[in-house]
A = this chain, B = another copy of it.
Amino acid sequence: MYTLLAKDTSTRARAGILQTRKGLIETPIFMPVGTQASVKALSPNELVDLGASIILGNTYHLHLRPGEALIKELGGLHQFMNWNHSILTDSGGFQVFSLARLRKIREEGVHFQNHLDGSPTFISPEISMQIQRDLGSDIVMAFDECPPYPCSYEAMSISLERTLRWAKRCRYWWQSQEAELMQEKMPLVFGILQGGSHDDLRKYAAETLVDMNFDGYAVGGVSVGEPEAEMMQAIDASIPHLPENKPRYAMGLGTPPQMIEMVARGIDMFDCVLPTRLARNGTAFTAKGTMNLKNAPYARDTSPIEEECTCPACLHFTRAYLRHLIKAEEILGLRLISIHNLHFYLHLMRRTRQSIMDGTFTQFRHDFVSQYVNWNVS
């Protein structure tokens, strides 16, 4: 399922190919986020034109609206949204802990009031797996608990043990489906490592999940408010304990330099709402850092967002026009900046991958990170 093609000699960076039942994914890869069965403001054909090979869907949101039963009845999420490439669905764990109200965590699962209408909702590991199966996900994530930051060692330890028991239930659930599902129709199932900033808990999480033989491993509980150094530490504490022949995914990250730094630490897959969320506020990503197109100096600026960029927004439109559209709250403005930003993220991973294949990753990393004026997400 994962084929390692090249390894950097001085870092843990690697290039590979991940095969899902829908196709091949060249890693490192960035996955645009389509929370509610739509990557915000873009059409599926625009995503194809940008070279996206996999997108995210969201179990929590789609369970609430329109519901997995409806999506299954209409042929699954791919057909529903007219996206014919791979889809990864997260398990709903993160959203239960960031969006839902009046949470009660029990051994069987989580009871909560959902954020849409406040009605009582229950998600368990088995229910999350069932939802993701009904959606027709190609890469299914285990249902986990995502503790807040900061979190004491003892609380994190108790939470991690439950997450690992839940992971085992997720694995069992899929094994029980194998007779029913044809082997070629089985999605990939990824485990999620928690453990916060505690190195020994990360190691323990990795080893325990590896024993369950998942198809891939995600580092969760990162980008939850911790300093960047702790985020990198969580990756460093996890990766050495993961097998080389399985893909590794850092969930919900990050800024462009953060992604490069995580590739250097052995991560293969990323997803992040930043490209589309910042676009809606008029912020574009460039090789030199983010650019707020609302700023007055762009009012008469006839250059594109980035001179050398080949995205449709940069080929056809000026900063002056984009600024006007954002100031006038015209939808075309956030559409064009979303397209540019997603192109930037997708293309950054293509360049990163190529540098690993060429043996020039260290130079590429240095050049990119030193040119980019870092910008703190939190």
Stretch at the interface among A90-98, A124-132, A229-237, A322-330: A322-330
Interface 1/0 per residue, A330-363 and B, CB below 8 Å: 1111111000000000000000000000000000
A contact patch SS:
helix
A39: min CB distance to chain B, Å: 8
**Copies of this protein chain in the complex:** 2
How far, in whole Å, are A333 and B38 apart by their CA atoms in the complex?
9
Stretch at the interface among A65-73, A103-111, A178-186, A245-253: A65-73
19 new A-B contacts, CB < 8 A, other than A40-B330, A40-B332, A45-B316, are A36-B324, A36-B328, A37-B321, A37-B325, A38-B330, A43-B335, A43-B336, A61-B328, A65-B327, A66-B320, A66-B324, A70-B300, A74-B302, A74-B318, A80-B320, A80-B321, A80-B324, A82-B321, A331-B335
**Of A44, A299, A317, A332, which is in contact with the most chain B CB atoms at under 10 Å from its CB?**
A332
Evaluate contact between A70 and B320: CB separation under 8 angstroms.
yes
Evaluate contact between B73 and A38: CB separation under 8 angstroms.
no
A273: min CB distance to chain B, Å: 14
Q: Which residue of B lies closest to A321 (CB)?
A: B80
How far, in whole Å, are A38 and B329 apart by their CA atoms in the complex?
10
Q: Which residues of B contact A40 (CB under 8 A)?
A: 330-332
Q: Which residue of B lies closest to A332 (CB)?
A: B38
Evaluate contact between B332 and A42: CB separation under 8 angstroms.
yes
Interface size class of A (residues with CB under 8 A): 35 or more
How far, in whole Å, are A334 and B41 apart by their CA atoms in the complex?
10
Q: Which residues of B contact A65 (CB under 8 A)?
A: 324, 327-328
Q: Which residues of B contact A333 (CB under 8 A)?
A: 38
The chain A residues found within 8 Å of chain B, CB to CB, are: 36-38, 40-45, 61, 65-66, 70, 73-74, 80-82, 299-300, 302, 316-318, 320-321, 324-325, 327-328, 330-336
How far, in whole Å, are A117 and B82 apart by their CA atoms in the complex?
43
Evaluate contact between B325 and A38: CB separation under 8 angstroms.
yes
**Of A40, A82, A324, A333, which is in contact with the most chain B CB atoms at under 10 Å from its CB?**
A324
Q: Which residues of B contact A36 (CB under 8 A)?
A: 324-325, 328, 330
A–B complex contacts, Cβ < 8 Å, 30 sampled? A36-B325, A36-B328, A36-B330, A37-B321, A37-B325, A37-B330, A38-B333, A40-B330, A40-B331, A42-B332, A43-B332, A43-B335, A44-B316, A65-B324, A65-B328, A66-B327, A70-B299, A70-B300, A73-B300, A74-B300, A74-B320, A74-B321, A80-B320, A80-B321, A81-B321, A82-B316, A82-B321, A331-B331, A331-B335, A335-B335
How far, in whole Å, are A300 and B43 apart by their CA atoms in the complex?
21
How far, in whole Å, are A181 and B320 apart by their CA atoms in the complex?
27
How far, in whole Å, are A45 and B336 apart by their CA atoms in the complex?
13
Q: Which residues of B contact A81 (CB under 8 A)?
A: 321
